[in-house]
Amino acid sequence: MPWPPSGYIEPSVDLGTQLASPVTPGLESPVQDPAAISYNPSSGVVAPGVNAMWEPDFSALPDPKEDNIKIPTTGKTRELVIQYALEKLGRKYVWGGESDAEGGFDCSGLLFYAFHKAGVDMPRVSYSQTGRGKRVSLDKLEPGDLVAWDSNPSIPGADHIALYLGNGEIVEAPATWVVVNGKRVRGTVRRRKLGANEGAWGVKLSY
């Protein structure tokens, strides 16, 4: 049974319990065949020319207040990467999207866009992006490093990824639907605080 069954996390149920549930393979799993998966129109939009497939929804944690927390000073190139990613706040989640021309971004597409605009080489998909650096604990990260999740241990590699901003914050393109005030709305690029028990790890980059 796909997790979450309804396409989004239920806020009233313990997150740890939901994360421990069976998971549909992530959208960027190397062994996944998009052509073999039926597209569910309720799961969101897909960038033009990209085969549709269902992605686990990592968008359920509550949105933080927009407090404009100052990002720590870092290298100029890292600042550019962060700037380009934050410029896309509020853009729609689009599976396979990596530009405004496609209507929005998926998680790795947002990073691919920001790094390449800043002149930094970065692979296109999340499980390849984690190989760009060294896996570390979250407390070892600097602004401009990566935060990754693996929702399905039976399939190797990250299936969700975000950009670390410092002060425990990330910018991410969460998948498909989010529950806001009891209503389902389409996920958008957002900035938020990392939760304490999300099962994420850090990727230390050199650039």
Catalytic residue among 28, 98, 160, 169: 160
Judge whether 187 and 89 are in contact, CB under 8 Å. Answer: no
Q: Give the Cα separation of 125 and 29 in Å (integer).
A: 9
Other CB atoms within a 10 A radius of the CB of residue 69 amount to: 15
Q: Give the Cα separation of 22 and 19 in Å (integer).
A: 8
Annotation says 160 is catalytic: yes
Place of tokens 């933080």: 64
Annotation says 116 is catalytic: no
As beta bridge partners, residue 178 has: 185
Annotation says 10 is catalytic: no
As beta bridge partners, residue 185 has: 178
Q: Give the CA distances from residue 128 to residues 20, 24, 85, 121, in Å, rounded to whole numbers and listed in that order.
A: 24, 19, 19, 12
Catalytic residue among 66, 107, 169, 198: 107
Q: What are the catalytic residues?
A: 107, 160, 172
